[in-house]
Amino acid sequence: MSPITNCIKNEDTTMNPIWLMRQAGRYLPEFREIRKENQDFIKLCLNSDLASEITLQPIKRFGFDGAVIFSDILMLPYGLGQKVQFEKNFGPKLGEIDLEILKYADDISFTEKVYKVYKAISKTCENELMKSRDTIGFVGAPWTILVYMINRSSPKKGLSSEFFKDDFLINRLLGIIEKFLKLHIKNQIDAGAKVIQIFDSWAGLLKDKIPEYIYIPTLNIVNYVKKLGVPVICFPRGIMDYKNYCEIVKPDAVNIDYDVDPKKIVNEIKIPIQGGLDPKILLTDRETLEIEVERYLNIFKDHPYIFNLGHGILPETKIEMVEDLVKIVRNFK
């Protein structure tokens, strides 16, 4: 059994597996070389050979315990026929929602549109490097996908007052999103994914209606993944109450933010924990990095813990700092 799966399923505390969110990305020179020749991000995600190569780059370089597939949570709206593009220095831009198109979305058409993602997973799993490692598939949580589909970009300044004005649209979309998230997850697992992570990137935007838009829709997805026999990790970024979230949604493991108190978390949450380190620590120096990494490792010493960050690794991170990070985690006693 691979280290990540063992930590989650058996709640093993004898070692701390490590992988990083966005570990296949812009801080790697080998990734930047590929990106230079492939400006269209969606097309790159749908190039199964290159997506698999990118997925394996951090495994080759750092020996992480898991390879998270190079893809994006917005493959879901893309597969449903909503226009998705990424603009430099802006991020994702989505087209208008056409309910007529969504109404006719079916399993076959969706799978055909994003099939290359599954092919990239299969190709990654076939690599010799993955024999004792987990390939990690992922999706966005229903709430986060809903936010992107209606807002049509990252809501960095919060949601507009108009967001909730159309209950029919929201409920219709949530039903469609849930159905196709389940399909997208099953296809990833069928292709070889051994762990699924659910990213609720915009969970922190909600101050009320949390059960309606976060707990219940995510619980439905978590229960579905569990039925497929694969461990599921949830990352409800910005959520105010991790304890309540875990008790209701019941993921197999939970990824924590960098701005929550890990001492409080270890006392309140019984399931395996992942993450927490502020990615900005990797922009400091070796001494600061060691202090902060060992602080997390000591807090979770007697708790099943997967080392990760409280958000994605930053593009300006130096390779040497990631190498040091891996050494610190591996050598921790």
Alpha-carbon distance of 246 to 252, in angstroms, equals 9
Q: Which of 205, 263, 250 is nearest to 223 (CA)?
A: 250
pLDDT at 99: 83
pLDDT tier, 158 (very low <50, low <70, confident <90, very high otherwise): confident
- Please name each of the domains of the chain with its CATH number: 3-331 (3.20.20.210)
- Counting residues of the chain whose pLDDT is more than 90, the rounded percentage is 86
pLDDT, tens digit (0-9, with 9 covering 90-100), for 195-230: 999 999 999 998 888 999 999 999 999 999 999 999
Angle at which helix 167-191 crosses helix 107-126, to 10 degrees, equals: 40
What proportion of the chain, given as a percentage, has pLDDT over 70? 100
In the predicted model, what is the mean pLDDT of residues 56-67? 98
| pLDDT higher than 80, residue 157 | no
pLDDT above 80 for 89: no
Structure tokens at 73: 């949570």
Sequence letter at residue 58: P
Res 100: pLDDT: 82
Which ranges of 18-106 would DSSP assign to H, the alpha helix? 29-37, 41-45, 48-62, 75-79, 99-103
pLDDT reported for residue 141: 98
Instruction: Please name the residue that has the structure tokens 């589909």.
Output: 149
- Residue 283, pLDDT > 80, answer yes
What would the mean pLDDT of 264-284 be, rounded to a whole number? 97
- Contact assessment for residue 139 and residue 72, using Cβ atoms and an 8 Å cutoff: no
d(Cα 179, Cα 2) in Å, to the nearest integer?
30
- The pLDDT mean for the chain works out to 95
pLDDT for position 46: 97
Residue 320 has a pLDDT of: 98
Question: Tell me, what's the pLDDT at 167?
Answer: 85
For 247-301, the DSSP string reads HHH--SEEEE-TTS-HHHHHHH--S-EEE-B-GGGGGS-HHHHHHHHHHHHHHTT
**Helix (H), strand (E) at residue 92:** strand 91-94
The residue ranking higher by pLDDT, 26 or 166, is: 26
Residue 120 binned pLDDT confidence (cut-offs 50, 70, 90): very high
The whole-number average pLDDT for the span 183-187 is 98
User: Which is higher by pLDDT, 182 or 333?
Assistant: 182
Contacts of 110 (CB under 8 A, 6+ apart): 79, 80, 180, 183, 184
Residues 6+ apart with CB under 8 A from 319: 27, 28, 29, 61
CA distance 71 to 48: 10
pLDDT value, residue 169: 87
Q: What integer pLDDT is reported at residue 154 of this predicted model?
A: 85
For 136-164, what is the mean pLDDT? Answer: 88
pLDDT of residue 130: 97
Above 80 in pLDDT, residue 161?
no
- 195-199 and 232-235: which strand pairing? parallel
Q: List, for residues 91-103, the tens digit of each pLDDT value.
A: 899 898 888 888 8
pLDDT at residue 90 in the model: 78
Residue 75: predicted pLDDT: 97
Contacts of 65 (CB under 8 A, 6+ apart): 2, 3, 4, 17, 18, 19, 133, 134
Q: pLDDT category, 260, cuts 50, 70, 90?
A: very high
Q: Is there a contact between 124 and 55 (Cβ–Cβ < 8 Å)? A: yes
Helix, coil or strand: residue 207: coil
What is the predicted pLDDT for the residue at 145?
Answer: 97
